[in-house]
């Protein structure tokens, strides 16, 4: 039997309340999008670009088999309003500081 478990909603909220913006993006996408850490680290702007730029919520994310554990098949998931707002805020902050490694037009 595994001792690992998903956090309870109040535990997740406590983590989000204490987290900086970057960690809020990571935690909310893991929890609400159902990603594994390895898959989340391989996501690129192109995975969220269309819905993010059109301000569509929830944001649809198509995950190719090549970036998943086992590489068995593609899947689709969504991130809701809370995770989308964190992501938009984070990207806006990075863009304002000139810290993004790519432009939206290249992605």
Per-residue pLDDT of the chain (107 residues; tens, 9 = 90+): 778 888 899 999 999 999 999 999 999 999 999 899 999 999 999 999 999 999 999 999 999 999 998 888 999 999 999 999 999 999 999 988 887 665 444 44
What's the whole-model pTM score? 0.83
DSSP tag of 6: P
| Token digits of residue 35 | 């990603």
Cα 69-61-35 angle, rounded to 5 deg = 40
Two tokens at 10?
């109040």
> Bridge partners of 77?
61
Helix ranges restricted to H, the chain:
9-18, 21-33, 37-42, 49-53, 81-96
């Amino acid at each position: 039997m595994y001792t690992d478990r998903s956090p309870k909603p109040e535990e997740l909220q406590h983590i989000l309340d204490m987290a900086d913006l970057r960690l809020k993006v990571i935690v909310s996408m893991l929890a609400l999008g159902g990603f594994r850490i390895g898959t989340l680290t391989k996501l690129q702007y192109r995975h969220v670009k269309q819905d993010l730029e059109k301000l569509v919520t929830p944001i649809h994310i198509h995950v190719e088999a090549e970036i998943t554990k086992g590489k068995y098949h593609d899947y689709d998931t969504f991130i809701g309003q809370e995770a989308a707002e964190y992501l938009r805020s984070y990207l806006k902050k990075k863009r304002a500081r000139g810290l993004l490694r790519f432009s939206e037009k290249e992605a």
